[in-house]
Amino acid sequence: MSSESRIASTFAALKTAAFMPFFTIGDPDVETTAALVKEAARRGADLIELGVPFSDPIADGPTIQASYYRALDRGFKVAQVFDLAKKLRANGVTIPLVCMVSHSLVFKRGTGSFFRSAREAGYDGMIVPDLPAGYEGDATVQARAHGLEHIFLCAPTTTPERRAQICSKSGGFIYYISVAGITGARDALPPDLEANVKDLKSRTKTPVCVGFGIGQPAQAAAVSKLADGVIVGSALVKLAAELHAAGKSREAVVAEVGAQIEALARATHGK
């Protein structure tokens, strides 16, 4: 991957940790997802992670799983993953977009085909959480060929041998899973977080972002002191779902989630 990638230049330009919110595509509908991306970019997010609904997610907690089921119940199709990015790029949205998708869906379409469509649509990186290092096949090669960063995850349980492998393979950034567990907001930061992030940073110049279990601005501020990026998913997905379920309009949902994103981004940026 050249140093010109949108993800790399974003991290290079930042003097603080990056803030990266996560949204589920199509929850409650793709129009809202598009509006949330635009709002997040306006409110201080540095990159956006977009999750693709899947019928049998195993890495995701109940909040994200429920959002996937809501989107699927409303007729979500994989083609919308690409349509969404295309529309955002056509509307002048330039923020880096990272697509998180189960290998079940990538494999069905064919890795090369999925990645090519993702790149053409305007994505900058791919996270395939159930495609661990050693089993990625030609996915990293395909990503490079199509100009995408292939981002690998690293867990607290990851052995030193695998950490080395992940550090050498991961493009754009390394997604460090803060807890051995599923996604979902938690109250406290795990005690081994600092040592593990330091270990990864001693192995590579690739930025290390931390996700899973971060929901509050205070947590984001704490993580931003250790890592190059802070990822918040479940807390925002849950907020949007609750507002939507309470009958709020799309504009109101986007504004309220946007305010929370701004608080998290400011905390991450040390403001």
Query: Footprint of other proteins on this chain (CB under 8 A)?
Result: 54-59, 61, 65, 69, 72, 77-78, 102-109, 129-135, 137, 152-159, 162, 166, 177, 179-182
* Number of Cβ within a 10 Å radius of residue 248: 15
Pick the catalytic residue: 27, 39, 46, 49?
49
Report, in Å, the least distance between residue 79 CB and other proteins: 8
Report, in Å, the least distance between residue 265 CB and other proteins: 27
The residue among 109 and 248 lying less far from other proteins, judged by its C-beta, is: 109
232 close to 214: Cβ distance less than 8 angstroms: yes
Measured CA to CA, the distance from residue 101 to residue 105 in angstroms comes to 7
Angle, helices 234-245 vs 30-42, to 10°: value is: 120
Nearest-CA neighbor of 172 among 24, 9, 61? 9
Report, in Å, the least distance between residue 63 CB and other proteins: 12
Active site residue 49: yes
Active site residue 138: no
Report, in Å, the least distance between residue 131 CB and other proteins: 6
Pick the catalytic residue: 27, 60, 149, 262?
60
The residue among 123 and 175 lying less far from other proteins, judged by its C-beta, is: 175
Cβ-based neighbours of 268, under 8 Å, separated by 6 or more: 16, 17, 18, 19, 220, 221, 223, 224, 230
Which residue numbers are catalytic?
A: 49, 60
